[in-house]
Amino acid sequence: MPGYLSRLRTSRPPPTGGRRTGRLSVLSPRTAAGQVFLLQGTIVVLLVLVAVASIMLQAARDAVRQGRRESVVAAQSFASAPGVSLALRSPDPTAVLQPRAEEARKRAGMDFIVVMNTDGIRYTYPYPAEIGKKFVGTIQPALEGRTVIEQAGGPPLPAGKGTDVQAIVPVTDARGTVVGLVSAGKTVKNVSQLWMPQLPIVLGVGAIMLVLAAAGTIAVSRRLLRQTHGLAPTELARLYEHHQAVLHAVREGVLITDEDRRLLLANDEAKRLLGLSADAQGRHVRELGLPDQMARVLASPEEVTDEVYLANDRLLAVNKRPTFPEADHAGSVVTLRDTTELAVVSGRAEGALGQLKLLYEAGMRIGTTLDVERTAQELADVAVPRFADVVAVDLLDSVVRGSEPTTEGWRHLLRSAISGDQRMLPVYRLGEVITFSPDTPQMLALEQSRGVLEADLRQAAGWQEQDPERTRRALEAGLHSLVTMPLRARGVPLGLAHFYRTQGSPAFEPEDVAFAEELGARAAVAIDNARRFTREHAMTVTLQRSLLPQGQPEQDALEVAWRYLPSEAGVGGDWFDVIPLPGGRVALVIGDVVGHGLHASATMGRLRIAVHNFATLDLPVDEVLGKLDDLVVRLDDEDDSGAAPDDQEGAGLTGATCLYAIYDPVAGICTMARAGHPGPVVVNPDGTVVCPDVPASPPFGLGGYPFETADVHLAEGSQLILYTDGLLKNADRDIDAGLEGLRRALGRAGAGRRTPEETCRAVLEALKPARLSDDIALLAARTRRIPSSSVAEWDVPPDTAVVPSVRAECRTVLSGWGLEETAYTTELILSELVTNAIRYGSPPVKVRLLHGRSLICEVSDGSSTSPRLRRAAMTDEVGRGLFLVAQFAQRWGTRYTAHGKVIWAEQMLHDGTPGPADDAPVDVLLEQFGDPLM
């Protein structure tokens, strides 16, 4: 076999089948090339002869047809000539017609023109001796007035002997009576001379064709001679027989593929080992239905030496070499040796081979996911039915939850997986919590950290004492043998695997315990990995959810609902928030941190806290994004400086996107800006869906780029939809297709009447993928407007003398709102704020009161200087105003505008009425203000 393969790899194998004594000629009849040359030469000569014969026959047929036409014309012309019918009635027709007939014959080029009476007696003939004799031919149709054309022999003619082509026509008188006959004709011999001039041309063309055919045949024969290496046909046949005998008789599979990895040849053994179909030849190796590993080996250009692969329940040793190593694109020769038969060295070899293959399959099937219970089910499924008939897996409850297993939980296990006929296992069902007694083989396996064999369950007292009634039914169902195996990883028990055999299967033996230990060890590692992932995933989700909003803040501007779905691959950095702002406004923010895991969650938490801080300062939208961008750049600088540990998950460049929006319910305007984040979607009250044109800015982390804002007017009842890109794109669709799906989900019938909760539910039902590869954050907010009847606003002249009138106006407004009980406190707050604005600010000064969930007093002026709370001594005449504001208002602060600043104070209302008044009177507060201990 190695010699055979070496011949396949050489470009010119030496000839076999006989000893060659010299170089053979192309024309040697012993070679296949010489025989092909002689055969083709003979065929060319025959073709030339056939062509000449065909031309001759065609010329003869054409000559006969031409002679028939000329004979008819000559006979009819003479019969119609004037005086012929009168001459036939004359006393001596021959004397009159013979000269005229000979003259017409010579002019027409005919061999004869014969005039005869109605009895067929000749009146004219080229030879006078033949005149008066009977005409040779058929005259009866002519006597009836028809023309006769025929071939017949006759007396000698000037052209010589031969069969003539003759035409016979009637001669009629003026009354149409046939008075005689005229026949004209030519001999075939004379007509056939017409094709003789073409014979040299035909022979010349044939000679040229013979020369060209000989040259082509010689060229083909030389090529054939090179390819057959001068072998005779018998030698070629013998070589093919040897090739077939060696190829199909060896006990090794042989495959030959071309440079495109298409199968050129497969012997019988290869077809048997790989299960190839009859039409496999010519197909690509990936189209043969082979196992993935075997298909990759055959499709790869790499050489392979004695590598073992599993194919069709066989372990095959594979060797692969190129057919022409010196070529750039060569095919391959692959040999396959069935090593499974080598394991048959004893009566138990087949069982060992099955266990080996089962372990191989277990390594492929167990641990395909990071789900603890799914991994346990994979262990149960892989062992049935080739090792056990029924398999059950019990895990510690802490393992299922992802916690670290402890010995305290040994006696309480959760049945996590069952495979096989569950009717055979009536002891415990899936999901039941099991408490094993100390004498059971299960508890013994946990304590001794080794497998326990119960070859005959009828003799297993400890197993039967666990639950006598259920174990009795199990024995009646057919269970008779058990191997229970602890699942251990890193020296820590995770649970138990129980392998049962039923009637019809042999009992377990001690050798089976070792196999069960190997199988359990592989599964335990996968289960422990899934447990650790579950723990880390739960920790990350807990951290992520703790950093997200835990409840909706109290505010009047928006009705809000949200959804957060962590990815299955690991929690990411998606986040959102709803932040109440002064003046009844609300900030909406949604963002996404690049990456997954704890690092992304921690970064998200830092950004969310930063947004809260910036919102507290009441900064404009673009400034908030700018400061977040600076924060991300600083975080990257910290990582680049080496402050972060090298093994920190997600360490490196931090990237994030964000959309920040502030909605003003008084004006109905939402100011938005986004940093690399998908744009918002608005559902109008009439159900139409639009995508506002919010300018796109770079994501956080680039630094130095401005952030553009957009003001969007939202009608009351509109819904503003914010989301992260995990909602739109996944493995099955891109972001454009996802955005179109979001628009369809939001634009369905009744969309304008949905609540935010219903909107979130409808969007997730339409767009949530089967497997979450990225986090999804979704925020839906329906707008509300503060009615004009709940807003009071007026200008204040820059004179402190008008403060009493401001208080009076405030009292009137509060009376109209039914808030008389809070009038005194509000007047005090408002008078202090207006007095400060007139004294320390600049015109114009304005007052605005907002009545909603709370009562908000706002005083604006044209300066940018902000008041601050300070301590005043008892002897100071000023400095106590803001202290009083801080004491009577739940919150107060300053926000800056494009034209100055706004000082605001908020008083909480309970069910639309003022909250309980503070028991401390103003005088007491003022006295405490001067206390040096405060």
69-73, 274-278, 791-795, 884-888, range with the lowest pLDDT: 884-888
From 134, 110, 104, 112, select the one nearest 122 (Cα to Cα).
134
253-257, 299-303, 908-912, range with the lowest pLDDT: 908-912
The predicted pLDDT at position 710 comes to 94
List of E strands, 77-118: 112-116
167-181, 356-370, 697-711, 861-875, range with the lowest pLDDT: 861-875
407-421, 575-589, 609-623, range with the lowest pLDDT: 407-421
Q: Is the pLDDT of residue 920 over 50?
A: no
Residues 6+ apart with CB under 8 A from 925: 883, 884, 887
Q: Encode pLDDT of 66-117 as tens digits.
A: 778 888 888 888 888 888 888 888 888 888 888 888 888 888 888 888 999 8
Q: Encode pLDDT of 564-606 as tens digits.
A: 888 776 667 788 899 999 888 999 999 998 877 677 777 888 8
**Whole-number Å distance between alpha carbons of 657 and 625:** 10
Q: Encode pLDDT of 21-77 as tens digits.
A: 444 555 566 665 566 667 767 777 777 777 777 777 777 777 778 778 888 888 888
Tell me the range of 31-40, 199-208, 358-367, 500-509 where mean pLDDT is highest.
Answer: 500-509
Mean pLDDT of 5-22: 42
**Whole-number Å distance between alpha carbons of 901 and 920:** 31
The predicted pLDDT at position 2 comes to 42
**Whole-number Å distance between alpha carbons of 78 and 180:** 12
- Tokens 């010329």, located at residue: 59
* Residue 768 backbone phi and psi in degrees, to 5: -65, 125
Q: Encode pLDDT of 597-612 as tens digits.
A: 677 777 888 888 889 8
Q: Is the pLDDT of residue 933 over 60?
A: no
924 band by pLDDT with thresholds 50, 70 and 90: very low
**Percent helix, percent strand, percent coil in the chain, to nearest 5:** 45, 25, 35
As to burial, measured by CB atoms within 10 angstroms (0-12 exposed, 13-18 middle, 19+ buried), residue 277 is: exposed
Mean pLDDT of 680-709: 89
The predicted pLDDT at position 689 comes to 92
From 904, 809, 801, 829, select the one nearest 860 (Cα to Cα).
904
From 121, 122, 119, 120, select the one nearest 101 (Cα to Cα).
122
- Extract the tokens encoding 839: 């004294």
As to burial, measured by CB atoms within 10 angstroms (0-12 exposed, 13-18 middle, 19+ buried), residue 407 is: exposed
| Three-class SS state of 695 | coil
286 band by pLDDT with thresholds 50, 70 and 90: confident
**Whole-number Å distance between alpha carbons of 308 and 314:** 10
Q: Encode pLDDT of 125-151 as tens digits.
A: 888 888 888 888 888 888 888 888 887
Q: Encode pLDDT of 229-245 as tens digits.
A: 666 677 777 777 767 66
Select the more confidently predicted residue: 338 or 224: 338
* Residue 656 backbone phi and psi in degrees, to 5: -155, 155
Q: Is the pLDDT of residue 822 over 60?
A: yes
Q: Encode pLDDT of 755-765 as tens digits.
A: 999 999 999 98
The predicted pLDDT at position 205 comes to 73
List of E strands, 8-121: 112-116
As to burial, measured by CB atoms within 10 angstroms (0-12 exposed, 13-18 middle, 19+ buried), residue 869 is: exposed
Residues 6+ apart with CB under 8 A from 177: none
The predicted pLDDT at position 326 comes to 63
**Whole-number Å distance between alpha carbons of 57 and 76:** 29
Mean pLDDT of 467-490: 84
Residues 6+ apart with CB under 8 A from 646: none
155 band by pLDDT with thresholds 50, 70 and 90: low
Share of the chain above pLDDT 90, in %: 11
Residues 6+ apart with CB under 8 A from 899: 862
The predicted pLDDT at position 1 comes to 44
As to burial, measured by CB atoms within 10 angstroms (0-12 exposed, 13-18 middle, 19+ buried), residue 335 is: buried
Residues 6+ apart with CB under 8 A from 27: 34, 37, 38, 221
From 173, 146, 177, 145, select the one nearest 85 (Cα to Cα).
173
Answer yes or no: are the C-beta atoms of 388 and 501 closer than 8 Å: yes
CA-to-CA dists, residue 395 to 372, 390, 398, 410, 842, angstroms: 9, 17, 8, 9, 75
| Three-class SS state of 854 | strand
Select the more confidently predicted residue: 841 or 238: 841
Select the more confidently predicted residue: 646 or 529: 529
Parallel, antiparallel, or unpaired for β 669-675 and 696-697? parallel
517 band by pLDDT with thresholds 50, 70 and 90: confident
List beta partners, residue 310. 315
| Three-class SS state of 373 | helix
Report the 10 Å Cβ neighbour count for 755.
13
The predicted pLDDT at position 426 comes to 60
List beta partners, residue 492. 489
Q: Is the pLDDT of residue 928 over 50?
A: no
The predicted pLDDT at position 503 comes to 84
Q: Is the pLDDT of residue 648 over 60?
A: no
583 torsion bin: left (phi>0), alpha (psi -120 to 50), beta (else): left
Question: 893: number of CA atoms within 13 Å, CB side?
Answer: 12
Mean pLDDT of 422-446: 77
Q: Is the pLDDT of residue 919 over 80?
A: no
The predicted pLDDT at position 337 comes to 83
Peptide bond before 680: cis, by omega within 30 degrees of 0?
no
The predicted pLDDT at position 660 comes to 95
Residues 6+ apart with CB under 8 A from 342: none
Mean pLDDT of 869-883: 55
From 721, 685, 717, 722, select the one nearest 783 (Cα to Cα).
717
List of E strands, 651-800: 656-664, 669-675, 681-683, 689-690, 696-697, 710-713, 719-723, 776-783, 791-796
Mean model confidence pLDDT for the chain: 79
362-371, 407-416, 437-446, 925-934, range with the lowest pLDDT: 925-934
